[in-house]
Structure 1
Amino acid sequence: MNHQFRGVLALLVVTLVWGTTFPAMKGLTVYFSPVWIIFSRFALAAVLLAPFLWRARRDDLRAGAVLGLLLFFCFLFQVEGLALTSSNRNAFICGLNVLIVPLLGVMGGRLPERKLVLALLLAVGGLAALCWDDGSWGRGDWLALMSALCFAVYVRTMEVRLRQASRLLSVTAAQIGTVALCAALWLLAREVPRGSIDVAQDAANYWAYIGHGLQQYWWNVGYLGVVATAAIISLQSWGQARTTANEAAVIYSFEPGAAAFFAFFWLGEALSPRAWLGATLLISGMIVSQWNTASRPPAALAPE
C-alpha cells in the first residue's frame, strides 16, 4: 500500500467521522451559540495536543496559525449561515468547495485531469440531489458560499504547508489552538454579557448557564473535542500530506452523504430516493477520482 492510497483511506475515515458529528451537534445547537460550540470542541482538543507545541519550530507554528485562522472562518461562516437558511441549502452551498478547490488550481496554472473533472461533476450532481431545495438567494446563502471559499483555500493551503512541515502534530496543535483562540476572542468581543445595570450579576448568570450546559452535554463536547477534532484533524493533516488538494476535495464531498447515513441510523431520519441517488453519485465520484491513479513518490514527511 503506497503513501497516496493510505492518505486517501485516512481522508475517507476523516469524512466518515465528520458525518457522525451531526447527531453529536444536534443537542448542542439547542443550548449553545455556534461560536461556543466551536470554542468548546477546539479548546478541549488544544489542551490534548498542547504537548506537541513543546520545542516546535517557528515555521510549523506559523503554518498552524495560518491554517487555524482559515479553519475558524470556515466554521464561523457555515454556522452563522445555517441560522439564516435551511440545513439542506447550507450543506449544498458549502459543498461547492469541491469545485472551488480545482478552480483555484486552474487559476494557478494547474489543469485538472479528465477523470477528476468527471469525478467533480458526479460529486456536484450528488450534492445537488442530496441537499438542494428551492428558495431565493439570501444572506445566509452568501455566508455559506464564503464558508465554501474559505474551506477551498484551507484545503489548497494545507497541500502546500503540510508538505513543508517538519512535524505534522506540531502544525496540527498550532492550528487547533489558533481556532480556539479566535473563538475565545470572538466570544469576549460579541457574546460575554456587558450589561449596564449589574454587570457582575449578568456575568455570574451567564457563566452559570454555560457551566450547566457543559455538564449536561459533556458527552457531546467530549466526543467532538477528542475524536472529531483532536484525533480527526491530526489524521486529516497526515492524510492530506500524502494526497493532492483536488483528491481531498472530492473525498470531502462525501461528507453530506455520510451525515445523511448516520442520521438515518442514529436519529431515524429517512432517506428519500433522491437522497440515495445523491449518495450513490458521491461515492461514484470518489471511485472515479482514484481509478487507475499512477503512483508517485512518497511524501517527504515521516509518519508520526
Structure 2
Amino acid sequence: MTKIEKKAILGIIVMTLIWGGTFPLIKILLNYMSPTILLMYRFFFSALLAIPFFIKNFRKNRKNLLKIIMLGIILYIAYFTQTIGLEYTTSSKSAFITGLYIIFTPIFALFFVREKLTRKLGISLILAIIGLALLANISLKGFNLNFGDFITIISAITFSIQIVLTNIYAQETDILFIAATQMIVMFLVGLPFNVNFLQISLSPLMLLSLIFLGSFAGFIAILAETYSLKYLDPDRAVVLFTLEPVFAGIFSFILLHERLSKGGIIGAFLLLIAMCLAATSKVKKIAEHVVTK
C-alpha cells in the first residue's frame, strides 16, 4: 500500500467519522425543523464556506464546470430523496437501503470505468451487506417495501453514481473546485423550494449545530471524499464508507444513550472486517478510462 493510498483511506475514515457523528445531531435538530429546512441550512453554510475556493479555482477548471454542476445536482437528488424517504419509512430501513450503494457502485464502476470486481473485494461486499442488515436490525421476514423505501433506493443509486463520477472527474479537475462547486449547486437547486428558510428563529446551540453540519459535515467531508476517490477505485472506497453506520452507532450510544443489539454488535464487527479486506485489496488503475482533457 503506497503512502498516498494510506492518506486516501485516512480521508475516508475521517469523513465517515464526521458523517457518523451527524446522525444523533440531525435526530435532535429534526425535533425543531423539517428535514428540507435542515438540508437547506446545511447547504447554505456549506456554500458560504465553498464560495472563496470556487472563485479561486474557477479559471483553470471552468471547462469542466458543466460536469461538476451535474455532479452537484446528482448529490442533491441523493440527499433530497434520502430525506423524503425518511418521512415514510423507519430510520433503520433507511440506513440499510441507503447502504445498498455498496452493491450499486460496482455496477456503475463496471459501466463507467470498466472495473472488474476481485474475489477479495467481492467477499468484503458480501460481509458489508450482512453487517449493514444486522446493524440496522433488518430481517427478510416481514421486510416489505413501501413508498419511502422506493424513494430511498433512488437515493442509494444516485449516491453510487456520484461516487463513481467523482472518481472519474477528480483525475482531471481540481478537488477543491469539485467539492466547492457541488456545495454551491446543492444550495442553489434547493433554494426555490425553501426561499424563506432564513426566517426560522434558531437558538445559539441550533445555529452552531447547523454550522457544523454545513462546514465539517458538508464542505470539508465532501472534500475528503473527493480527495480519497481520486486515488482509490470506487469498489474499494465504497466498502470503507460502511464505517459511517459504525461511527453513528458509537456516537448515538454516547449522546443519545442508544444501545446496539447483539446482532448490531456482530454487524459492526463484520463491517470492520469488510473494511480491512477492502483496504488491503489491490487498487486498479483507472487512468485509461478517464475522459481526456
State the TM-score, normalized to the length of structure 1: 0.86
Q: Which residue of 1 aligns with 2:107?
A: 103
Q: Distance in 2 between matches of 1:4 and 1:82?
A: 35
Q: 1:183 aligns with which of 190, 209, 222?
A: 190
Change (3 A) 1:251 1:207: closer
Shift of 1:291: 2.3
Indicate conservation of the 8 Å contact 2:82/2:152, yes or no: yes
Q: Is the 8 A contact 2:88 2:147 kept in 1?
A: yes
**Amino acid across the alignment from 2:110:** V
Instruction: Quote the residue 2:30 is aligned against.
Output: 29
Judging changes above 3 Å, is the alpha-carbon distance between structure 1 residues 259 and 50 closer, same or farther for their aligned structure 2 residues? Answer: same
Preserved CA contact (<8 Å) 1:4 1:296: no
Q: Which amino acid aligns with 1:178?
A: V
1:151 corresponds, among 159, 169, 172, to 159
1:1-304 correspondence to structure 2 within 5 Å: 1-55=2-56, 56=58, 57-108=61-112, 109-131=114-136, 132=138, 134-165=142-173, 167-188=174-195, 208=199, 210=200, 212-213=201-202, 215=204, 217-291=206-280, 293=282
1:70 Cα deviation after fit: 0.8
For the pair shown, which has the larger CA radius of gyration, 1 or 2?
Answer: 1
Query: Deviation at 1:52?
Result: 1.4
Q: What are the superposed Cα offsets for residues 140-198 of structure 1, whole Å, 9 maximum, x if unpaired?
A: 10011010000001101111111110x2212211110001111112324xxx5xxxxxx
Q: Secondary structure at the match of 2:171?
A: helix
CA contact (8 A) 1:63 1:171 kept: no
Q: Which consecutive unaligned segments of at least 5 residues does structure 2 have?
A: 288-293
SS in 2 for 1:30: coil
Cα deviation, 1:65-109, whole Å, max 9, x if unaligned, reads 122111101111101001101000010001000010002233454
Aligned letter for 1:26?
Answer: K
| Percent of paired sites with the same residue | 27
State the shift of 1:288 in Å.
0.8
Q: CA deviation at 1:220?
A: 1.1
Between the aligned partners of 1:98 and 1:59, the Cα distance in structure 2 is 31
Aligned counterparts of 1:297 and 1:142: Cα–Cα separation in 2 = 32
Figure out how many residues of one structure are paired with residues of the other and give that number: 279
1:254–1:283 Cα contact (<8 Å) kept: yes
* Contact 1:93/1:148 (8 A) holds in 2: yes
Code of the residue aligned with 2:41 in structure 1: it is S
Aligned counterparts of 1:152 and 1:32: Cα–Cα separation in 2:
28
User: How many Å separate the matches in 2 of 1:292 and 1:106?
Assistant: 17
Equivalent in the alignment of 1:196: none
CA distance in 1, matches of 2:126, 2:188: 37
TM-score normalized by structure 2?
0.89
Q: Please, which runs of 5 or more residues in structure 1 have no aligned partner? A: 193-205, 299-304
Q: In structure 2, do the counterparts of structure 1 residues 86 and 295 end up closer, same or farther at CA, with 3 Å as the change threshold? A: closer
User: Given that residues 31 and 213 in structure 1 are in contact (C-alpha distance below 8 angstroms), is that contact kept between their aligned partners in structure 2?
Assistant: no
